[in-house]
Amino acid sequence: VNATFSVAPAVGGAAGATDWDDEFLKLVGPELYRRPISGTVEAVRGWVREWAASFLKPGRGLTTPVQVVAVDEGVLLRFISSASGFADEEETADDKWEAAAAKSAALARGQEGRPDGALLILVEAEPSPRVRVCRAEMFAGVLVKEMSEAAVLQRLQKDLKAFEEARRL
């Protein structure tokens, strides 16, 4: 990619290096979501990790299987490719449930499928308390998981708001 940037001072005042660093940080990944948080960073970070683990439960509605990996400032929600095959006409509903449960357990252990992109969900204290979501592990040949990303971001926005409102009561 060939890109050129130009930077000019903000109207009404000069922006410092920290301000520009923060603005250019949006390009890494790229950043998909940014929101200030109320409450302590540690509390929100713990909540984000628990919240992300809920995507491992059946029926959470993602179109792509995920693996959840804790990182220093939050969590990595790694998309896992799933091999598709033909449906066996003699397979019963119980067989399908058993296979799905086994596959889910293997995914949770990171033993099935291959990484296929990720969302890095960070809870940062500096320069101000916030949550940021960036794409990660976007190697050659990895396709953007638009529907899964949209579902994660919508759920994060809704659930984080509910979490903060519940803590204010």
Q: What is the CA radius of gyration of the chain?
A: 19
Q: Is the pLDDT of residue 93 over 70?
A: no
pTM above 0.85, yes or no: no
Question: What pLDDT is recorded for position 66?
Answer: 86
- Identify any residues that bridge with 124 across adjacent strands, giving them in sequence order: 130
**pLDDT single digits (tens) 24-52:** 666 766 878 889 998 789 999 999 999 99
Cα(169)–Cα(8) distance, integer angstroms: 43
Q: Which tens digit of pLDDT belongs to each residue from 82-91?
A: 655 444 556 6
119, amino acid identity: L
